[in-house]
Structure 1
Amino acid sequence: MIEATDFRNAMSLLTSAVSVVTTTGASGRYGFTASAVCSVTDTPPTLLVCMNRASYLHTHFVENKILTVNVLGAHHQSISNVFSSKLNSEERFKHGVWTELKTGAPVLEDSLVSFDCHIEQAQEVGTHDIFICRVVAIQQAQQDQGLIYFNRTYHQVGYATGNDSRIDSASLVSEVR
């Protein structure tokens, strides 16, 4: 049997993009820092977000049935720290400039990309829910430096100079198949 600490230590070596996931509704605006976000399919555009059911925020996301995944740029490390801190929701949203798209969930104005979504289903797995989210709007910024989390610390990643350094994700997918 694999111990939870061994699993967490191994997962710390899986490089992940850092996002702030937000929602809004009758009870207010809420958000948290997440690295468990993943594409599901492009037809229809769908992604998944994993959230611990023990979080005090969980109920708000389930009740609101909307969320926005704000993928953070290299300059957003402080925003990531704020949304993973013990600050209350009102204090968290004092950091950054927030707008909205189709659902009304908070969109970080200068995030790399924001995926505005309806939560279509929630699947319980262990301590977490997997939210299956239909993307209804996308906002992209004009920047190419991302914030990632690896080995329990932040790193910056971006494109090298020259066009040949970029990999077409469609080509990558076809190579994997």
Structure 2
Amino acid sequence: MIEVTDFKNAMSLLTSAVNVVTTSGKSGRHGFTASAVCSVTDAPPTLLVCMNKASRSHTHFIENKILTVNVLSADHQHISRVFSSRMSPEERFEHGIWTELKTGAPVLEGALVSFDCQIEQIQKVGTHTIFICHIVAIQQSQHNQGLIYFNRAYHHVGQAEIA
């Protein structure tokens, strides 16, 4: 039997992109910081997003059936911290500039890329919910450095801009 602490320590060594996942609907705008996001297939374009069922905004994502995965650029570390804090949903969206694409879920201006999605399937596994999401729109920025999380710390990857 694998101990939870051993699993968490091992997973901290799995390098991940840092994302802010957002939704919008009748109950307002909500979002959370996530590293458990990955591609499923390119035909049709589909992402997988994992979310802790204990999250305050969990029900809002299920009810709204839409989300946007905003892949953070190197200069968005503060946005990651805000969306993993105890701030209210309203306070969180005071940080950054937010627009929208096709679904109406919030899109962070300057994110490396934003994947605007409809949630197609929902599966509960242990402490988390897995959202299988059909991508309906994509917006890319001109940033060339991404924000990753490795060994419980933020790091930058990609080409630094030359002045």
TM-score normalised over the length of structure 1? 0.89
Partner amino acid for 1:103?
T
C-alpha separation in 2, matches of 1:85 and 1:131 = 22
Deviation string 1:121-165 (CA, Å, 9 cap, x unpaired) is: 01111111110000000000011100000000000000379xxxx
Give the % identical residues.
78
The corresponding residue for 1:81 is: 81
SS of equivalent to 1:59? helix
The residue number in structure 2 matching 1:105 is: 105
1:51 counterpart SS class? strand
Bigger helix share: 1
The match for 2:19 is 19
Matched pairs, number: 161
After superposition, residues 1-177 of structure 1 pair within 5 angstroms as 1-159=1-159
Unaligned 5+ segments in structure 1 are 162-177
Amino acid at match of 1:8: K
> Counterparts of 1:9 and 1:149 in 2: how far apart (Å)?
13
Instruction: String of CA shifts for 1:57-94, please: whole Å, max 9, x gaps.
Output: 10000000000000000000000000000000000000
Structure 2 SS opposite 1:94: coil
CA contact (8 A) 2:116 2:135 kept: yes
Conserved 8 A contact 2:145-2:160: no
Could you tell me how far apart the structure 2 residues matched to 1:41 and 1:145 are?
Answer: 25
Aligned-CA RMSD value? 1.1
